[in-house]
A = this chain, B = another copy of it.
Amino acid sequence: MKKIKMGMIGGGIGAFIGDAHRRASRICNDYELVGGVFDVDYEKSKEFAVMEGISLDRCYKSVDALIKAELAMPAKERMEVIAIVTPNALHFPFAKKFLNNGFHLVCEKPMTITVKEALELERLVAKNKLTFALTHTYTGYPMVRQMRDLIAKGVLGTIQRIDAQYYQGWINAIIHGGGTRITGVWRLDPKHAGASSCMGDIGVHAFNLIEYTTGLEVKEILSDLNSVKDGIKLDLDGTVLLRFSKKLKGVIRASQVCGGLENDITISVYGSKASLRWGQENPNYLYMFSDSEPIKVYKPAHTYNGKLAEEGHTMPSGHPEGIYEALANIYKGAAKSIRKQKFNPAEFPTVHDGVRGMKFIHAVVNSNTKGNTWVKI
């Protein structure tokens, strides 16, 4: 099948997230990276293009230059989709331009800096009938999809509590010195990261996982954020109380200062009959607890899983796939949408998830600023 021609904004030398997007696009095998603006520094951008084997003709000086040149090409040659993997603050202006010019988008999260921007993108996607995939990568894991499927089938009974955690420790190296992974310092600067560090970068993933797996919407939140150290302007840690309905509550906990923690995302949904728990560091294991039966551990590549989970794992059971494959699953879903093939809406997060995420982040910041009060989402 013909590959979808893709451009990329950001993701040049040393940017791990850009590399992840490229790998994922190659794994799913539906895309061909043909050009982009890989770095604000044009020389570095070209250096990257050479390294990657991309034609310098399509290594552009700017997003405007890219759009102009690509639109001038015949439709068959033109980039159809753009992957935006820049720092947060640039997502919106670039996304807007691309949507206005008819390009499909794959965009890193958080989608924008403000809710207003997010709503604007949502409007443009609808208006121009474009595909917009937001890379909440964790929803690409087969066992997250199976979790959604089991919950939709009602196996948990009445959902009674929802609890998600996202703990990392890497910012300790930046704020205290001496660590081993010092990238992403821009995340501490409100100009580049937006209103929040911890909740904007990782808390929002937990939020998204909750809404993705349960199909429920968080109605109100109350947050308590912590900048941890004097002089830090953004939250590096926090807890968010959640209300889904009068009798259903939950909590999101997120932190970037849990010394030694790597990428510890866990989601648990507790019901009257049974409960489900999934953790990202061992993504091929989904645990179901119930009072009347042994604990059940679901794994990919089994006929007991639903179709959505099964399509997200290509190896036979016992051959672990990982995060690149999860991201590839999202790319795969977006490709189906771009190609106007049939797809399950659960195959990739959309601009609407981006809107929800921005609302969440802003509600969290507002609640904290107002002295830990309830704020509607």
Taking the nearest CB of chain B, how far is it from the CB of A231, in angstroms?
11
Question: A320 and B288: CB pair below 8 A?
Answer: no
A241 within 8 A of B: yes
Chain A 3-45, CB-CB to B under 8 Å as 1, else 0, gives 1000000000000100110110011010000000000000000
A316 interface residue per 8 A CB criterion: yes
Report yes or no: A263 in contact with B294, Cβ–Cβ below 8 A: no
- The residue on B at minimum CB distance from A374 is B372
Q: Is A278 an interface residue (CB 8 A)?
A: no
Contact of A247 among B224, B229, B238, B293 (CB under 8 A): B229
How long is the Cα–Cα vector from A325 to B247 in the complex, in angstroms? 39
User: Per-residue 0/1 for A283-324: is the Cβ within 8 Å of any B Cβ (1 yes, 0 no)?
Assistant: 110001111111111110011100000000011111111111
Asked if A156 CB lies within 8 Å of chain B CBs, one says yes
A226 within 8 A of B: yes
Contact A168 B318 (CB under 8 A): yes
Roughly how many angstroms separate A229 CA and B259 CA in the complex, as a whole number?
Answer: 39
Max count, chain B CB within 10 A of own CB: residue among A26, A230, A259: A259
User: Which residues of A, 68-93, contact B by the 8 Å Cβ criterion?
Assistant: none
Distance A284 CA – B372 CA, assembled complex (angstroms): 38
Do B320 and A320 touch across chains, with their CB atoms under 8 A apart? yes
The answer to whether A23 touches B16 (Cβ under 8 A) is no
Q: Which residues of B contact A294 (CB under 8 A)?
A: 288, 296-299, 302, 304
- Quick one: CB contact mask for A232-269 with B, threshold 8 Å, 1 for yes? 00000111010000011101010101111111100010
B contact residues around A272 at 8 Å (CB): 172, 176, 257, 259
A22 CB contacts on chain B under 8 angstroms: 29
Could you tell me if A299 and B257 are in contact, using CB atoms closer than 8 angstroms?
A: no
Q: How many copies does the complex hold?
A: 4
Binding stretch for chain B, among A117-125, A159-167, A329-337: A159-167
Instruction: Assess the B270–A255 pair: CB atoms within 8 A.
Output: yes
A139: interface (CB < 8 Å): no
- Say yes or no: B261 contacts A316, CB within 8 Å: no
CA distance A281 to B284 in the complex (A): 9
Are B315 and A16 in contact, CB atoms less than 8 angstroms apart? yes
Write out the residue numbers on chain B whose beta carbons fall within 8 Å of the beta carbon of A282.
Answer: 282, 320
Chain B residue nearest to A287 (CB atoms) is: B297
CB A188 to nearest CB in B, in angstroms, measures 15
B304 touches A262 (CB 8 A): no
Q: At the interface, yes or no: A345 with Cβ under 8 Å from chain B?
A: no
A111: interface (CB < 8 Å): no
Q: With A2-B53, A247-B228, A322-B325 as given contacts, are A302 and B180 in contact (CB-CB < 8 Å)?
A: yes
The digit string for A202-239, where 1 denotes a CB below 8 A from any CB of B, is: 00000000000000000000101011111000000111
Q: What are 11 sample pairs from A and B whose C-beta atoms fall under 8 A apart?
A: A2-B53, A29-B52, A173-B291, A259-B271, A259-B272, A260-B290, A261-B270, A263-B318, A292-B304, A293-B296, A321-B322
Q: A180-B303, A324-B325 are in contact. List 14 more A-B contacts (CB 8 A).
A: A27-B324, A157-B176, A158-B176, A161-B255, A170-B316, A176-B272, A181-B316, A224-B241, A228-B247, A229-B247, A241-B241, A258-B268, A258-B270, A281-B284
